[in-house]
């Protein structure tokens, strides 16, 4: 007899069932992208208002990204303890609150503190959103669904770029950029209240009555043929201690689960996001320094983000055909190469903008596939925290990258050498992934082996009647 989690993963896809979870989870991810991209536009504007040096301007992005690193750890762990549904809503509410207060900042110190606190709320969105979407998705469509999740990212970054460009002529423009996100975020917070708890989470926690209620409802609404199933015993875990003890315990368990898997997850996450955030956080400032006007610099960065929508579509098309590892190993290094090409062609604006577009496309091919891949490598009881710790490791490193980029790397090494060094680090992480981690395409969650053995054959196709 099959288990409840197997039933969920073999259900047919329905847009009014799993698709609703995808849309609601994706909108939260959109706000994460909007906020991160906004750092690049806030940096020169806040720097001008508060008379900051180039190195000090790097703190604008650093405060927010370090907050996201803390949030990714805290909320990944909390979501594995209190459930996806509760964490799902609280993270967005905290982000909206501190973003609203940030728009009222009287000085740079208060602004940085509030951006850090907003980052803590928003940093939890990615691990929580990916955990709940992956756990509702049928395994045959899971790779495409999780890759498509990242389609919300370039939409969010494009909205940030377009709104920032339109607000350039407005007095107090950077404050209005923060205000603009608040009302949609609060609306999404309200909508999220109707999302059910993850059935895989309920199964792992031994909450059999609730799990059966959610699973039976999913079977009914998707039109699948009902069949008997069992709910396995709960996974035992130590719940003693506070939030810090829980985070430390989850970190220990993440590494104990598989040091190789966790090392791969962290190294790929860190290097891919280091390349991406270096460009995203500083691109408007780089273009202004190279002679682009403020409107042209903001518009070019918005274009870079918009092209990423095509990149996500490419990722969705290839992730289940080519496999996660091959896509990451190809698109990641190519994205780094386009930044080097950009940096040596800045004297030819058209060529530089074309290189930016290529970077926007390739980076949004590799990132969604990487997110899907890392979320699949961990079992359900560690999925949110495993993803959260990998995300946090990248945020911790990339959080200080804007500060180092503006004060050391760009001024001392120059752009071409800086982007080359970052690309070499990414290639090293990709090589490590290829030899040390399994392919996850087509395998059941919680039954992915530690080697690249052939994927298990698909389960019998459930009834498509509705």
Nearest to 52 by CA among 44, 64, 41, 63: 44
Residues 343-390: tens digit of each pLDDT: 999 989 899 999 999 999 999 999 888 988 888 888 877 877 788 788
CB of 399 closer than 8 Å to CB of 301 = no
Q: Which residue has the higher pLDDT, 166 or 403?
A: 166
Q: Supply the CATH number for residue 186's domain.
A: 1.20.1250.20
Q: Is the backbone of residue 11 left (phi > 0), alpha (psi -120 to 50) or beta?
A: beta
pLDDT reported for residue 238:
55
On whether residue 46 sits in a domain, the answer given is: yes
Mean residue pLDDT across the chain: 83
Residue 231 in any domain: the answer is no
Beta bridge partners of 3: 230
What is the spatial distance between Cα 231 and Cα 3, in angstroms, rounded to a whole number? 6
* Angle, alpha carbons 358-274-316 (nearest 5°): 50
Cβ atoms within 10 Å of 106's Cβ, excluding its own: 7
- Print the domain residue range for 156: 4-225+242-436
Tell me the C-alpha distance between 8 and 4, whole Å.
6
458 within a domain of the structure (yes/no): no
User: Does residue 403 lie in a domain region?
Assistant: yes
Alpha-carbon gap, residue 354 to 339, rounded angstroms: 11
Is the residue at 452 inside a domain?
no
- Residue 205 falls within a domain, yes or no? yes
Please write the tens of the pLDDT for every residue from 210-247: 889 999 999 999 999 999 988 887 766 555 555 566 66
What is the predicted pLDDT for the residue at 55? 76
Indicate the pTM of the whole model. 0.72
Flag whether 233 is in a domain: no
Considering the domain boundaries, does residue 177 fall inside one?
yes
| pLDDT (tens digit per residue) in 151-190 | 788 888 888 889 888 888 888 889 999 888 777 777 777 7
- The confidence score (pLDDT) of residue 451 equals 40
Q: How far apart are CA 21 and CA 256, in angstroms?
A: 31
User: Distance between CA atoms of 434 and 323, rounded to whole angstroms?
Assistant: 12
Q: How many domains does the chain have?
A: 1
Q: In whole angstroms, what is the distance from residue 284 CA to residue 398 CA?
A: 18
- For residues 262 and 235, give the distance between their C-alpha atoms in angstroms, rounded to a whole number: 20
Nearest to 217 by CA among 136, 130, 146, 144: 136
């Amino acid at each position: 007899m099959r288990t409840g989690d197997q039933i969920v993963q073999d259900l047919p896809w329905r847009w009014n069932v799993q698709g609703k979870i995808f849309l609601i989870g994706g909108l939260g991810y959109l706000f994460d992208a909007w906020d991160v991209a906004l750092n690049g536009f806030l940096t020169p504007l806040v720097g001008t208002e508060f008379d900051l040096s180039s190195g000090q301007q790097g703190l604008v992005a650093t405060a927010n990204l370090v907050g996201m690193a803390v949030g990714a750890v805290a909320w990944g762990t909390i979501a594995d303890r209190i459930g996806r549904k509760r964490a799902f809503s609280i993270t967005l509410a905290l982000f909206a609150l501190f973003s609203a207060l940030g728009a009222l900042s009287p000085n740079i110190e208060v602004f940085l503190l509030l951006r850090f606190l907003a980052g803590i709320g928003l940093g939890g969105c990615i691990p929580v959103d990916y955990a709940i979407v992956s756990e509702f998705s049928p395994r045959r469509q899971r790779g495409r669904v999780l890759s498509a999740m990242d389609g919300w990212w370039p939409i969010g970054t494009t909205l940030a770029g377009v709104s920032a460009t339109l607000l350039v002529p407005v007095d107090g423009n950077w404050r209005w950029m923060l205000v603009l996100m608040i009302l949609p975020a609060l609306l999404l917070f309200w909508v999220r209240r109707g999302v059910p708890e993850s059935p895989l989470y309920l199964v792992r926690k031994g909450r059999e009555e609730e799990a059966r209620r959610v699973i039976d409802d999913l079977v009914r609404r998707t039109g699948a043929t009902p069949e008997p199933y069992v709910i396995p015993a709960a996974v035992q875990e130590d719940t003693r201690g506070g939030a810090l003890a829980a985070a430390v315990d989850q970190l220990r368990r993440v590494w104990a689960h598989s040091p190789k898997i966790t090392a791969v997850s962290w190294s790929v996450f860190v290097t891919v996001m280091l390349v991406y955030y270096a460009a995203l956080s500083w691109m408007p400032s780089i273009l202004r320094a190279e002679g682009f006007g403020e409107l042209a610099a903001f518009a070019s960065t918005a274009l870079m983000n918009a092209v990423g929508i095509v990149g996500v579509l490419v990722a969705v098309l290839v992730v289940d055909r080519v496999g996660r590892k091959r896509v990451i190993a190809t698109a990641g290094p190519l994205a780094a190469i386009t930044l080097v090409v950009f940096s040596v062609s800045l004297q030819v604006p058209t060529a530089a903008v074309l290189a930016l577009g290529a970077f926007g496309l390739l980076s949004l091919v590799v990132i969604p596939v990487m997110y899907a891949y890392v979320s699949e490598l961990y079992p359900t009881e560690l999925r949110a925290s495993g993803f959260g710790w990998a995300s946090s490791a990248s945020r911790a490193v990339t959080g200080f990258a804007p500060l180092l980029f503006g004060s050391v790397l760009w001024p001392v090494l120059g752009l071409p050498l800086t982007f080359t060094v970052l690309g070499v680090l990414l290639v090293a992480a990709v090589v490590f992934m290829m030899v040390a981690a399994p392919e996850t395409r087509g395998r059941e969650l919680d039954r992915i082996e530690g080697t690249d053995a052939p994927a298990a054959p698909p389960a019998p196709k459930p009834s498509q009647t509705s």
